[in-house]
Amino acid sequence: MPIKFSLWIDAKVDAVKPFVYNEDLEIRVYDAKSLATILHKSVFGRGPKNYRIYGKCISLIFRLKRPRQPTL
């Protein structure tokens, strides 16, 4: 499940560095039905579960394990 996003600061606040480059972030993906359930955590790095920053885009690709639905 690829997720790509960017974090920006309003140019009125900081016109010089509007893109947020932060290697200290922890990205969490929650279950929409139960916001208390974390499906995935990611930190900055090179590992398969980590996010990367390319240019002005934060890229996170991970394999989300979902329970199998019975086939009818």
> Is 66 part of any domain?
no
pLDDT in tens, 40-70: 899 999 888 888 888 888 888 776 666 666 6
> Is 67 part of any domain?
no
Whole-number pLDDT of residue 54 = 85
Q: How confident is the prediction for the chain on average, in pLDDT? A: 82
> Is 68 part of any domain?
no
What residues contact 31, with CB distance under 8 A and at least 6 apart?
37, 38, 39
> Is 27 part of any domain?
yes
Q: What tokens appear for 11 in the block?
A: 């140019």
Of 45, 51, 54, nearest in space to 2 by CA: 51
What is the residue range of 28's domain? 2-61
Please state the domain count of the chain: 1
Strand segments (E) across 1-72: 2-5, 26-30, 38-43, 52-54, 57-61
> Is 72 part of any domain?
no
pLDDT in tens, 4-40: 778 888 888 888 888 888 899 898 988 888 888 888 8
CA within 13 Å, CB half, 66: 9
Whole-number pLDDT of residue 43 = 92
